[in-house]
Amino acid sequence: MHSSLFTTHTLSAKTLYRRRQTLLRQFFSRRDTLQSLEKRLAGHISALALTSEPVPDAAPSCAAETFVQFAALLVSDREELLTALNQWSGEDDTLDEAMLYALTFCASPSTWKRLQIEMPSPARLELQIKARSRLGKPLPENELEEALDPSQPVSLQGAALEHIGHCCPQLLNVASARYHDSHAEIQLAALSAGLRLGDHAASEALRSEFEPSTDPSVAEPGLLRLGAIALPNQVMPSLEILAEENPKDGLWLLALTGQRDAAATVLRKLQEPRSADDAAIAWQWLSGQALPRRPRLHLVEAQQPSSDDNLPDPAHALQWWQQQETQWPATQRRAFGIALDENTAHTLADSWSGQAGDALSDIAALCHSHYDVEQGGKQCTN
């Protein structure tokens, strides 16, 4: 490949990778936008795979460069693949995330066979487990046992427990033994696996984490999120407190419960300038409304008339609430203004990416389990 053409494909692929990461960091981004971007990205990677450019010994300096180089190696299935994987993994979280995406995006069946030849390092094994979880490819039993050894890094054990929930239902007992683990990361992974597999004991173990005396400001953030998704009624009191103390985190988690009372709180916080921006994000999750913005002076009696700040306009939200409040049963869970059941949860998960897409995928997975974690039914309501 001509060097200028190689450079053009490299720069374009790096730009698209960065745009992809931006979409995933946003609360709301359309999945079709992400898919269109990834299709273009695949074209550049395929072109780069035709080159014989040498692979550097040291890990690339940034995530975008890591993804581009590693993805091209995967597509071309070059000999340097295992060397790069061993040398680059475990250097930096952002670089590992880039390699993880490359594995899920580009790895072929022959590549996965090559990766099974030798027992990898903990960092490489963790990458492979996470990639296989995303792809629904069970890990060989000997590698999973190695990853679950208590002497392994906590992050590796957590990845292995998450993998059980995605791919190894026959090992539910392994996950259930860690529901009360002293390491928060391991406990969260075990509970997530158990809930995904429909284990009522996981629901009870998670419920025990949220007593009336629980201080949400010091609670494990991952457990709060899992509670908001799996046990909305149980966690709502804690999240109401958190929403007052920390609107940025609390209002989003409160919205994830999908409860009518949560919507009332979010609407109130939407009318307070300090929390209006965070409340607008939560409101979009609950109602599906992306609120327009208006100058601060149109919304509040500003102390500083010269301020040019904009705030979300609550007028549309108030109008929507007047129409919907009496039609929203207290036992009904909603997202984007839609009552959630297994079908609607999957439909929404297929439509959104970003943080909303991640939450919808988790809710859809719980809906697909054999009973509802809140009520023992087959619905996402509670």
As a whole number of angstroms, the distance between CA 68 and CA 131 comes to 17
pLDDT digits (tens, 9 = 90+) for 260-306: 999 999 999 999 999 999 999 999 999 999 999 988 755 555 444 43
What pLDDT digit, counting tens, does each position of 301-348 carry?
544 443 447 899 999 999 999 999 999 999 999 999 999 998 999 999
CA distance 380 to 345: 8
Between 60-69, 71-80, 246-255, the lowest mean confidence (pLDDT) is in 71-80
Name the burial class of residue 297, with classes exposed (0-12), middle (13-18) and buried (19+) by CB atoms within 10 angstroms of its CB.
middle
CA distance 147 to 167: 15
Determine contact, residues 338/376, Cβ cutoff 8 Å. no
Q: Is residue 248 a contact partner of residue 282, using CB atoms and an 8 Å limit?
A: no
What's the CA gap between 224 and 250, in Å, rounded? 9
In the numeric block, which tokens belong to residue 164? Answer: 């059980």
Query: By the 8 A CB rule, do 161 and 148 touch?
Result: yes
Distance CA 375, CA 197 (A): 16
Burial of 93 (0-12, 13-18, 19+ CB in 10 A): exposed
Structure tokens, 252:
């989003």
Query: Which domains are delineated in the chain?
Result: 3-205 (1.25.10), 214-294+311-368 (no CATH)
- H/E stretch holding 30 reads strand 29-30
- Mind listing the pLDDT tens digit for each residue in 222-236? 999 999 999 999 999
Six-digit token pair at 285?
């999750």
Answer yes or no: are the C-beta atoms of 371 and 200 closer than 8 Å.
Answer: yes
Is the pLDDT at 185 greater than 80, yes or no?
yes
